[in-house]
Amino acid sequence: MTTSKRGRTMAKADTEDIESARVGRPDTGSGGRRAKSVRRAMRLVMRPGPWERGVILAVLALLLGLLMLLHGMIPNRVGNLGSLVETFLPWFGLFIPVLLGGALWRRSASAVAALLLPVTVWLHLFGALLGDKSRPGGDLTVASHNVRDGNPDPVGTARALAASGADVLALEELTQEDRGTYEQALAEAYPYHTVQGTVGLWSKLPLSEIRPVDIQMDYGPLAATKPIEEKMRYNRALRATVATDHGPLAVYVAHLGSARVNPRAGFWTVHRDRGAQALGEAVAAERIKRVVLLGDLNGTVDDRAFAALTSRLRSAQVAAGDGFGFSWPARFPVVRLDQILVKGVEPRSSWVLPPTGSDHLPVAAAISW
């Protein structure tokens, strides 16, 4: 049988197509082009669209938003987890740009849309702190500073605080060794002062009705047998009346118990929370309508543990500050542990003072009647 020249050419072309597919050489045949077109179409059909991509990122964004929105429902029964989350709640906003970067990289419309929830919640909770709410004026300037046990430069710290121009100055974590140093260095600027245990109050205006405040600290198993003089050495709160041109002002100074993160106990705040409750009861019983609380509370006003205080007093930083006003640690502040809370007076401005020899930053506020 004779094979035509055209038939031999077609058979040769088919053989080349097969060999091309086997060895991966470019295929210029019509069959190869059709196969590529089919494969390309299948990839386009099977490829997830922008709303189907990034499902995990979208879920994480929603969980972040719900965490910030419902933080009050996180229980404290296990490791005081709710209070721990609320202490660092503003920093959860850092996850938003991270998730946004992942959403843009994945070109996920669903993840971007889901991020609207945490963005909205964060702005609702903390958006007001981003701007400067301070206003000029003020009838009285108050300041508070945890001067730190073991401060290497108490004289320099006292001079810096005196130069701040505060009319009323509260100091916490005073030691018996450094007490005389602060009294001497502040005597010229503040003719009136009182020290009750480890907390003190210095004032340019007369003080009266001074007394320690029992915030139910635990002084050890032998506390009941210790004389009152020994207990007073460790007293951590006081109350005094400041005589102003506008009438009496009740000033409380407090240094609540420390908060610790413990692998076994979690966020350990037993003494702090007990002190906050006792301090709240003292403020509730206060007969003077105008009240200022100054001190290191070892916690933020977002923490539910301070409800006894924040339900009666408001934060000067939240009402009239510029930014978050973080005060600890001094080298890289991440939380505001040092608070100025007020009732019956109007905060005009609130700010953080320059660092001293302490691991806390001093905080100050101007208030008016």
pLDDT of residue 51: 84
Question: Between these two residues, 245 and 14, which has the higher pLDDT value?
Answer: 245
Compute the average pLDDT of residues 186-207. Answer: 98
| Pick from 170, 166, 270: nearest CA to 213 | 170
pLDDT score for 34: 72
The tally of CA atoms less than 13 A away on the side-chain side of residue 364 is 22
| Domains defined for the chain, CATH in brackets | 5-20+27-46 (no CATH), 55-129 (no CATH), 140-368 (3.60.10.10)
3 state SS for 248-306: EEEEEEEECCCCEEECCCEEECHHHHHHHHHHHHHHHCCCCCCEEEEEECCCCCCCHHH
Give percent above pLDDT 90 in the chain: 78
For 184, the enclosing helix (H) or strand (E) is helix 176-186
* Helix, strand and coil in the chain, % to nearest 5: 40, 20, 35
Beta strands in the chain (DSSP E): 140-146, 168-172, 192-196, 199-203, 207-212, 237-244, 247-255, 260-262, 266-268, 291-296, 314-315, 338-343, 346-352, 363-368
Q: How confident is residue 216, by pLDDT bands cut at 50, 70 and 90?
A: confident
**Whole-number pLDDT of residue 268:** 93
Average pLDDT over residues 304-325: 97
The structure tokens listed for 271 are 């003494």
For the stretch 108-119, pLDDT in tens is: 999 999 999 999
Q: Do β-strands 338-343 and 266-268 pair in parallel, antiparallel, or remain unpaired?
A: unpaired
pTM of the shown model: 0.84
At 47, the pLDDT band (50, 70, 90 cuts) reads low
Is the pLDDT reported for residue 1 higher than 50?
no
pLDDT of residue 262: 83
Average pLDDT value over all residues in the chain? 89
Residue 286 has pLDDT above 60, yes or no: yes
Across 202-214, average pLDDT? 97
The long-range contacts involving 120-123, CB below 8 angstroms and separated by at least 24 positions, are: 120/65, 121/65, 121/68, 121/69, 122/68, 122/90, 122/92, 122/93, 122/96
Higher-scoring residue by pLDDT: 228, 365: 365
Query: How far apart are the C-alpha atoms of 23 and 3, rounded to whole Å?
Result: 29
Q: DSSP letter for 51, please.
A: T
pLDDT score, position 337: 98
